[in-house]
Amino acid sequence: MQPSETPPLLSCHGLSKRFGAADGIGSVLANDVVDLDLYAGRIHALLGENGAGKSTLMSMLSGWLSPDSGEMRLSGAPLVLRSPAAALRAGIGMVHQRFSLVEALSVAENLALASGGAPDARAAAELAHSFGLALDPRRCVAELSMGERQRLEILKMLALGARILILDEPTSVLAPSEIDALYATLRRLADEGRAVVLITHKLPEIAGAADEVSVLRRGRMVARNIPRDPALPDGWDMAALSGLMVGRELPADGAASRREHGEVVLRVRGLRGQGQPPAFSGIDFEVARGETFAIVGVAGNGQEALAATLGGMTRPASGSVEVLGRAIGPRTGRDLVAYVPEDRHGAATVPDLTLAENLLLSTTGSRGAFFSRRAGARSAAAAIRALGVTASGPEALARELSGGNLQKFILARELAKGAPLLLVEQPTQGLDVLAVSEVHAAIRRAAESTAVLLVTGDPLEALALAGRVAVLFRGRIAGVVEASAPDAFDRVGRLMAGLGVDVSNEGGPAVGGPAAGVVAGGAR
Amino acid sequence: MPLRLVLEPRQAAAPLRALISLGTALGLAWAFGSLVFALAGAEGLSGIGAAWRAMLQGALGSGYSVSEILVKAAPLTLTGLAVALCCRLNLWNIGAEGQFVCGALASCWVALFMAPGLPPRLLLPVALAAGAAGGAAWAFAPALLKARLGVNEILSTLLLNYVAVLFMEHLYYGPWRDPAGFGFPGTAELPEAVWLPTFFGTRVHLGLGLALALAGALWWLLARTRWGFRARVLGLSPKAAAYAGFRSARITVTAMCLSGALAGLAGAGELLGVQHRVQDGLASGLGFAGIVVAFLARLNLLAVPLAALFLGALLVGADQLQTELRLPGTAVLALEAALLFGALLGEFLAANRLRLVRRGRKEAGHAG
C-alpha cells in the first residue's frame, strides 16, 4: 500500500454490490467490501479477469449503479451518485468499450450533443487542440478510425469537465499503432492533474501506461495501489500480478501440453480471408486429437473472420480447412465441427426461440422434411442436465437464460454432436466468475477426447487452457508460443502488442504436430 | 413540478400485448375515422355517430351484406397471408397488388385461350394453378435481386405493382379487348366452366374455402416442417441461419415466390369467382389491404382470416356510407391507413411503456 502525503481525489470504502436476491440461486456478489483510492496526477490500472467485478465497480463510480453498502468521498466530501449525469457533474467521466457516438454526425455535432450547445467547429478544434487531441471537427464519425472515435469520447468527457476519467478496456478496439498515442494522451491528462483509471485484464497494457495497479478477483480487492517499481523492466512482477488476478499460478509445468496427442484432426493450409486487404492470410496450423490450440489476438486483428471461416460460416479466398481430411465450408462438413461462436445471442442461438428449437439449430443436419420437436425437447433436456444449466426446461426461451447458462447450453449442445473438433470463440466473454470456471472445466474435459481450437482475445485464458498459443497480429500468425515456457505470458503479450518479432512465419508454418514447429523458450 | 414522458421497455405477457396492439389499432381507427367523417361533412357528434351506425348497418344489417363480407374476406385472407409470410422472414412484400393482378391475368389467359384444348374438369384447377404461378413469377425477380444482390425488396415489389397494373390495362384496352364489347375496355366474359362454384345463391365462392385451408397449411408449414423452421430462424436472426448453415438465399427466394403465389391465387379467385372478366376495377387495392390484414393479425397466420373478415366488414360497410350519407367511399382508405398505423403503434406500445416522470427526481448530485 502506498503511503501518500496528498489525500486521494476520490476514495471508496467498503463498496458492495450484489446482483440477484441475497442467498438466492444465481445471486452474485459482484463487489465485496471494496476499497479504492484514486489520486490526481496518476494513471491507475484496475486489473482483473472477466467477471472479476471491474465493470461493476466502475459503474458505481460513474453513477450507472448504486452500491448496496459502502461510501465514496470526493476530495474528502461524501459523494452519492444517483445517475451518470450526477457523476459527470461531480467530474467523473467514463469511456465505455462501446462508444456512444452518432455515426452520421460530425465530430463537432457529437460534441454539441454531449454538452448541449450549438455545433461549433472552431470551438471544437480549439478544445481538441487544448488537450492535445488530433481531431478534425468537421469529419463525420462514420469516417473515423476506432482510435479517433475513442479520442472523441475522451474529448466529450473533458468538455464536460471530467477530473476523473475512467476507460473500460480502452485498447481492445485499437490498432497497435494507436495504443501508444492513447498512452501519451492519458499521460498528458494525468499530468494536468486528473485521475485516470484504466480497466483492463491485459498485463502489457499496464506495463505501457500505469503508475499504480489494483487487482480485483472474484469481487474482492486483492491488491491495492501497488506503485510501479522502476527497477523492474515492466514496472511490476508480471507473474505475481497474474497470480493475484487468477488466484492460481499459471500452469508452469505445461500439464496441458504434456498429454499424449492422437492423430491430426484439423489441418489448415495457406488460409487467406475475403476482402482487400484480407482479414487474415498465410494461416497454417494443425491441431491433434487430445490437444488444445489457442489463437489469441487483440480485437480487430482478424481472429473474428478467421473463426467464422474455420467454423464453416464463410468461405476463404484461398487455402483449405480440413477436419479428418474433409473440407469445412458453408455446405460441407458442418457435422465435423462443434462450433461455439462468439455471438451467443444472435448466431449460436435465436433469442425468441425455445431451447428445444435452438437445439435443432446446429444438430439436425439436413435429414427429412419435418423436424421432430419431441426429439429436440429430449436433447435439450439432456443438454440442460449435462452442464447444469439453470433453465425452466426445454420450452424456455433462449432470451430468458443468463449469459453463463446460455453459454453452457450451447456448449452442451455442440459437445453432444460428438464432432472430432471443438471450436470455441471467446467462450467466457462477459460471464461471471462461476460460469467462467464451469465453461473452462467443460472445455478441458472435451480436450481429453477431441481436438480443441480456442479463439480468444484473452491471453490468460489461452495460456490456462491451451498447450500451444498462436498469436494473430494484423491477420498473420506472429508467433506460436508453448504454454509451458517460463516466459510464455510475457511473449504472448509482446506478440499481441506487435512488439518483438518472436517467431515469425519466416521459419516455416506452425505445422508438423504439437512437438515440431513450435518454439519453446526462444527463437529457432 | 415539470413532467416528462419516459419510454421504458416492458415484458408484457403475450395476450396483454395482443390486447394493447389491437386496442390501439381500433382506437386510432375510430378516432381518425370520426375525424374523416367530420371533415367529409357529417354534422356534429350525432352526424358522426350516424355514419358509424350506417357502416355497421351496411356491414351486418342483412344476410346479403354478411355474404359480401365473406366474398371480400377470401382475397383479403390470401393477400394477408402473402404479406404475413414474408414479414415472418423479415421481408417486406409490398407487391401483393401486382402479384394479384398477374395471377388474375395468368388465369384469364388460361380461361380465354387454353379453354378449348383442355378437358373441362381440368380447366378450373389449371386456371387456379396458373394464377398462383403468375403471382409467383411476378415475385421472382425482386426475390432474386434481394437474395443475390441485396436489392431492397420494398422498392422493387412496390414499383412492380404499377408495371403490373399498366400491363393489365394494355391487355384489356388492346389485344385482349372483347371484340363484341361495343368498344368498352375489358375482356370477354370467361366461359362458365372456369367460374368458381358459388354457394347459397350468394357471391360467396370456393375461393374462401381455399383461403381458409391455405391459412392452416401455411401455419403448419412454418410451425412443423424443417423448411418452416429454417425460414423462422432466418427471419429472427440471419446470423444464426448462417451459423446453422442454412441456404438463406434459397429460403428467401422460395418464401417470396410462395408469397407471390398466394397473392396470385387471390387475383385468380377474384377473377374466376366474382368478376368473370378482366376489366377496370379488378385491381381495387386488395393487395395493399393485405398489409393491413397481416399487421392486424400481428403476423399470426391463423389470425389472418379473422383480420380479413374484419377488414372485409369495413369495406362492405363503407359502401353503405357512400349510398346513404353521400360520404365518399374512399373514406375507407383513410380508415385502412389508420388501422395500419394503429397496429404498428400498438406493437410499439406493447413492447414499451410510456410513463410520466417528475423532472429532476432521478437526478441528484452531491449529498453533502
Among A367, A288, A370, A292, smallest CA distance to A335 is for A367
Cross-chain Cβ contact A334/B227 below 8 Å:
no
Structure confidence at residue A249 (pLDDT): 45
Bigger pLDDT: B65 or A513?
Answer: B65
Interface predicted TM-score (ipTM): 0.80
Residue B342 lies in a domain: no
Q: Chain A residues within 8 A (CB-CB) of chain B? A: 74, 77-80, 82-83, 85-86, 89-90, 311-313, 330-331, 334, 339, 341, 343, 346-353, 357, 360-362, 364, 366, 368-371
How far is Cα of residue B199 from the mean position of the Cα atoms in its chain?
A: 24
Buried b (16+ CB within 10 A) or exposed e, A195-213: bbbbbbbbbbbbbbbbbbb
**Pick the residue with more confidence: A175 or B48?**
B48
pLDDT (0 to 100) of residue B81: 97
pLDDT for residue A368? 59
Q: Given A313, A334, A353, which is nearest B236 (Cβ)? A: A353
B232–A353: do the CB atoms touch at under 8 Å?
Answer: yes
User: Which residue of chain A comes nearest to B222, CA vs CA?
Assistant: A370
**Using an 8 Å Cβ cutoff, are A306 and A472 in contact?**
yes
Contact B365 A352 (CB under 8 A): no
Collapse the DSSP code of A92 into the 3-class scheme (helix H, G, I; strand E, B; otherwise coil) and give the result. strand
Test B239 with A343 for CB contact under 8 angstroms.
Answer: yes
Identify the pLDDT of residue A518: 38
Instruction: Specify which residues A268 forms β-bridges with.
Output: A285, A321
Residues in chain A closer than 8 A to B230 (CB atoms): none
Q: Is the pLDDT at A509 greater than 50, yes or no? A: no
* Residues of chain B with C-beta less than 8 angstroms from the C-beta of A80: 364, 366-367
Residue B94 located in a structural domain: yes
pLDDT confidence tier of residue A20, bands split at 50, 70 and 90:
low
Stretches where chain B sits below pLDDT 70 are: 1-2, 10-13, 329, 358-368
Q: Who's near A126: CB < 8 A, 6+ residues apart?
A: none
Q: Is the pLDDT of residue A332 over 50?
A: yes
pLDDT on residue A522: 36
Which residues make beta-bridge pairs with A197? Answer: A44, A166
Question: What grid cell was written down for A104?
Answer: 452520421
Residues B327, B40 contacting (CB under 8 angstroms): yes
Domain annotation covers residue B173: yes
Nearest beta carbon to residue B236 from set A339, A352, A360: A352
Which cell numbers hold the place of B43?
354534422
Pairwise CA distance, residues A448 & A441, whole Å: 11
Residues in chain B whose beta carbon is closer than 8 A to a beta carbon of chain A?
Answer: 224-227, 229, 232-233, 236-237, 239-240, 242-245, 247, 362-368
Q: Is the residue at B33 inside a domain?
A: no
Query: What does the DSSP 8-state code read for residue A432?
Result: -
* A95: β partners: A167
Residue type, A387: L
In a domain, B38, yes or no: no
Supply B200's cell numbers.
347459397
pLDDT band at A517 (very low <50, low <70, confident <90, very high): very low
Residue B228 has phi, psi (to 5 degrees) of -65, -40
Give the three-state DSSP class for A36. Answer: strand
Contacts of A372 by beta carbon, 8 Å cutoff, 6+ apart: none
Q: B162 lies in which domain range?
A: 78-302
Average pLDDT of chain A, as a whole number: 83
Residue A361 to residue B363, Cβ atoms within 8 A: no
Domain count for chain B: 1
Q: B129-165 burial string, b = 16+ CB within 10 Å, else e? A: bbbbbbbbbbbeebbbbbbeeeeebeebbbebbeebb
Quick check: helix, strand or coil at residue B339? helix
What's the pLDDT score for residue B36?
Answer: 82
Q: Are A196 and A44 in contact (CB under 8 A)?
A: yes
Nearest-CB residue to B226 (from A331, A349, A368): A368
- Percentages helix, strand, coil for chain A, rounded to the nearest 5? 35, 25, 40
Rounded mean pLDDT of A480-484? 89
Give pLDDT, residue A7. Answer: 87
What's the order of all strands across the beta sheet hosting A318-323? A283-288, A264-272, A318-323, A326-327
Contact state of A370 with B224 under an 8 Å Cβ cutoff? yes
Q: Do B20 and B28 meet the contact criterion of CB atoms below 8 Å apart? A: no
Which residues of chain B are within 8 Å of residue A309 when distances are taken between CB atoms? none
- Mean pLDDT in residue range A216-229: 87
Q: Is A91 within 8 Å of A164 (Cβ atoms)?
A: yes
Closest by CA position to A485, among listed A474, A471, A469, A501: A469
Chain B contact set for A90 (CB, 8 A): 365-366
Q: What confidence category does residue A222 fall into, taking pLDDT thresholds of 50, 70 and 90?
A: confident
Q: Give the strand order in the sheet containing A77-79.
A: A28-38, A10-19, A69-74, A77-79
What pLDDT was estimated at residue A508? 38
One-letter amino acid at A100 equals S
Provide the shortest C-alpha distance from residue A370 to chain B (in Å). 4
Residue with cell 385468380: B268
User: Which residues, other chains included, contact A394 with Cβ-Cβ below 8 Å and sequence gap of 6+?
Assistant: A354, A355, A356, A359, A376, A377, A378, A380, A381, A384
Task: Pick the residue from chain B with its C-alpha nearest to A362.
Answer: B244
Distance from CA of B360 to the nearest CA of A (A): 11
pLDDT reported for residue A516: 36
**Which amino acid would we find at residue B93?**
N
Judged against a pLDDT cut of 60, whether residue A250 lies above it is answered with no
Q: What is the pLDDT of residue B362?
A: 44
B367 and A90: CB-CB below 8 Å? no
> What does each C-alpha distance from B258 to B163, B165, B176, B264, B287 come to in angstroms?
20, 21, 28, 10, 15
pLDDT digits (tens, 9 = 90+) for A393-451: 888 899 888 888 999 999 999 998 889 999 999 998 878 777 888 899 999 999 988 99
Residue B32 lies in a domain: no
B365 vs A90, A347, A370: nearest CB = A90
The predicted model scores a pTM of 0.70
Is B1 part of a structural domain of the chain?
Answer: no
Question: How far, in Å, CA of A19 to CA of A17, rounded?
Answer: 7
- Closest partner residue to A90 (CB to CB) among B243, B245, B366 is B366
Q: Which of A429, A472, A424, A460 is nearest to A444 (CA)?
A: A424
Tens-digit pLDDT profile for residues A339-375: 999 988 889 999 999 999 899 888 764 455 667 777 8
The total of other beta-carbon atoms located within 10 Å of residue B125's CB is 10
State the smallest CA–CA distance between residue A507 and chain B in angstroms.
Answer: 35
Percentage of chain A beyond pLDDT 70 is 88
CA angle A229, A230, A236 (to 5 degrees): 40
Residues of B in contact with A79 (CB under 8 A): 366-368
Is residue A291 within 8 A of residue A467, CB to CB? The reply is yes
pLDDT one-digit tens code per residue, A78-126: 999 888 888 989 999 999 877 888 888 899 998 888 887 788 888 888 8
What is the C-alpha to C-alpha distance for residues B284 and B312, in angstroms, rounded to an integer? Answer: 13
Residues of chain B with Cβ-Cβ distance to A89 below 8 Å are 365
pLDDT score recorded for residue A520: 37
A288-306: pLDDT as tens digits: 999 999 999 887 788 889 9
- Which residue of A90, A330, A352 is in closest CB contact with B245? A330
Q: Do B233 and A350 touch (CB under 8 A)?
A: yes
Would residue B209 count as lying in a domain? yes
CA distance B17 to chain A (A): 15
For residues B239 and A349, give the distance between their C-alpha atoms in angstroms, rounded to a whole number. 9
pLDDT at res. A26: 53
